[in-house]
């Protein structure tokens, strides 16, 4: 091992064992065995699937829940995790350098074997052992297939929780409208004392407040009702630019620098422009609000034969593992005064458009939200069974 190179846990343990006599070694190994047995019992008791993988995605450990959720065979010698979670962008994860590998990643994936399930997938690299990562799987199939009655109950609870805040948000523009209309009425009642410039200014203020009210109501309705999708051809690059222009004042006030990396031409997709702009707005606003002292956001668009990708990378506070685990729970907000409405809309819009979304984050360093929209007529990529380099095999859609 080169001087200054960080020693792994195994190296440190071997050095320690080398210094012990035979009796001490036996006692030490017995102690480790008992600890392993204890943790095995704990891990096998939890409902979440837990795996430890190396940088080649070879499974080094798994608990009972992981075996049942993924249908893992007894012999894992030639098995890679990518064979069971094929909707994860493993190529992106594996090509990242050590610094990027240490970011936590969250995604929801769909599997068909051994049963049709939806799993929340978390990858949490080890801080000391950078060659390994813990994968946590949570079965969210039941929440994805809830009955209409449950959804209606949830909506009622949601409206009750937000009633005070919505009343406050609606009250402000209503008060402004009432004040301006009162002034206009007062000016109209005075003979010969009607200032046309003042009247125009008040009417403009009234119009702005009506638009504000309309925006509040539309956001609220989009979050609580499915509505019919109006799908048209959209250019996500244009939608991003429109959203950034709309947020310009807030971005400038918070001293945030926006860096856009767009190709000259981006494939056209099919979607709902207003819904997508709402989702982009919520992602960008979350990023801006995570940087109270200023910072930067990189917005990057790219594409390949199968997907159009958008990445929002900020230099904000990042997300802890506890928060990442619940970030898309309905009505859950970790920001003072927040409602959880924004994250709910983001996830809902992405599902409506068949998009895959991944969140990569590191506390005190920033967060990246990566969205992959499937291109019409895209090719299906199939992973081979046990290739360590995980090259691509492509088949055409039929």
pLDDT tens per residue, range 62-71: 999 999 999 9
Q: What is the pLDDT of residue 276?
A: 92
Q: What is the mean pLDDT of residues 6-33?
A: 62
pLDDT category of residue 369 using cuts at 50, 70 and 90 = very high
Q: What is the mean pLDDT of residues 12-20?
A: 61
pLDDT category of residue 112 using cuts at 50, 70 and 90 = confident
Q: What is the pLDDT of residue 315?
A: 94
Q: Which residue has the higher pLDDT, 90 or 308?
A: 308
Does 46-141 carry CATH code 3.40.30.10?
no
pLDDT category of residue 202 using cuts at 50, 70 and 90 = confident
Q: What is the pLDDT of residue 12?
A: 64
pLDDT score of 379 more than 70: no
- Class of 148-224 in CATH: mainly alpha
pLDDT category of residue 58 using cuts at 50, 70 and 90 = very high
Q: Which residue has the higher pLDDT, 243 or 150?
A: 243
Q: What is the pLDDT of residue 393?
A: 39
pLDDT category of residue 177 using cuts at 50, 70 and 90 = confident
Percent of the chain residues topping a pLDDT of 90: 21
Give domain 232-384+390-395's CATH number out of 3.40.50.720, 3.20.20.70, 3.30.1490.20, 3.30.565.10.
3.30.565.10
Q: Which residue has the higher pLDDT, 390 or 76?
A: 76
SS (H, E, C) the chain: CCCCCCCCHHHHHHHHHHCCCHHHHHHHHHHHHHHHHHHHHHHHHCCCEEEEEECCCEEEEECHHHHHHHCCCCCCCCCEHHHCCCCCCHHHHHHCCHHHHCCEEEEEEEECCCCCEEEEEEEEECCCCCCEEEEEEEECHHHHCCCHHHHHHHHHHHHHHHHHHHHHHHHHHHHHHHHHHHHHHHHHHCCCCCCHHHHHHHHHHHHHHHHHHHHHHHHHHHHHCCCCCCCEEECHHHHHHHHHHHCHHHHHHCCEEEEEECCCCCCCEEECHHHHHHHHHHHHHHHHHCCCCCEEEEEEEEECCCEEEEEEEECCCCCCHHHHHHCCCCCCCCCCCCCCHHHHHHHHHHHHCCCEEEEEEECCCEEEEEEEEECCCCCEEECCCCCCCCCCEEECCC
pLDDT score of 197 more than 50: yes
Q: What is the mean pLDDT of residues 127-138?
A: 81
Q: What is the pLDDT of residue 363?
A: 85
Percent of the chain residues topping a pLDDT of 70: 64
pLDDT score of 83 more than 50: yes
pLDDT score of 257 more than 90: yes
Domain with CATH 3.30.565.10 in the chain: 232-384+390-395
Q: What is the pLDDT of residue 22?
A: 61
Q: Which residue has the higher pLDDT, 46 or 394?
A: 46
Look over the chain and give the mean of its residue pLDDT values, rounded to a whole number: 76
Domain with CATH 1.10.287 in the chain: 148-224
Q: What is the mean pLDDT of residues 124-144?
A: 80
Q: What is the pLDDT of residue 392?
A: 42
Q: Which residue has the higher pLDDT, 169 or 76?
A: 76
pLDDT score of 14 more than 60: no
Q: What is the pLDDT of residue 166?
A: 58
């Amino acid at each position: 091992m080169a001087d200054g190179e960080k020693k792994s846990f195994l190296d440190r343990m071997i050095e320690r064992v080398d210094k012990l006599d035979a009796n001490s070694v036996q006692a030490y190994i017995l102690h480790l065995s008992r600890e392993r047995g204890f943790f095995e019992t704990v891990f096998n008791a939890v409902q979440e699937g837990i795996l430890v993988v190396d940088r080649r995605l070879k499974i080094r450990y798994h608990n009972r829940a992981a075996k049942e959720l993924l249908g893992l065979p007894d012999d894992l010698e030639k098995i890679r995790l990518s064979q069971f979670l094929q909707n994860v962008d493993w190529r992106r994860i594996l090509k990242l350098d050590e610094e990027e590998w240490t970011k936590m990643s969250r995604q929801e994936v769909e599997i068909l074997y051994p049963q049709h399930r939806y799993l929340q997938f978390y990858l949490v690299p080890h801080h000391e052992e950078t060659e390994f990562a813990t994968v946590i799987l949570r079965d969210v199939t039941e929440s994805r297939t809830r009955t209409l009655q449950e959804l209606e109950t949830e909506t009622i609870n949601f409206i009750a929780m937000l009633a005070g805040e919505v009343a406050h948000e609606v009250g402000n523009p209503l008060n402004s409208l009432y004040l301006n209309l009162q002034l206009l009425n007062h000016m109209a009642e005075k003979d010969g004392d009607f200032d046309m410039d003042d009247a125009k200014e008040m009417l403009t203020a009234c119009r702005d407040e009506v638009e504000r009210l309309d925006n509040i109501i539309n956001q609220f309705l989009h979050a609580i009702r499915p509505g019919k999708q109006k799908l048209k051809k959209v250019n996500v690059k244009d939608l991003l630019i429109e959203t950034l222009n709309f947020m310009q004042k807030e971005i400038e006030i918070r001293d945030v620098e926006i860096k856009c990396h767009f190709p000259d031409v981006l494939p056209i997709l099919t979607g709902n422009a207003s819904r997508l702009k709402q989702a982009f707005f919520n992602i960008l606003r979350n990023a801006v609000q995570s940087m109270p002292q200023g910072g930067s956001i990189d917005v990057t668009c790219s594409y390949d034969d199968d997907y159009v990708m958008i990445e929002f990378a900020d230099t904000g506070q990042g997300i802890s593992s506890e928060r990442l685990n619940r970030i898309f729970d309905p009505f859950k907000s970790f920001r003072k005064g927040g409602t959880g409405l924004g994250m709910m809309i983001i996830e809902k819009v992405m599902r409506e458009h068949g998009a895959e979304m991944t969140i990569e984050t590191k506390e005190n360093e920033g967060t990246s939200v990566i969205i992959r929209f499937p291109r019409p007529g895209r090719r299906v990529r199939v992973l081979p069974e046990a290739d360590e380099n995980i090259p691509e095999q492509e088949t055409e859609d039929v």
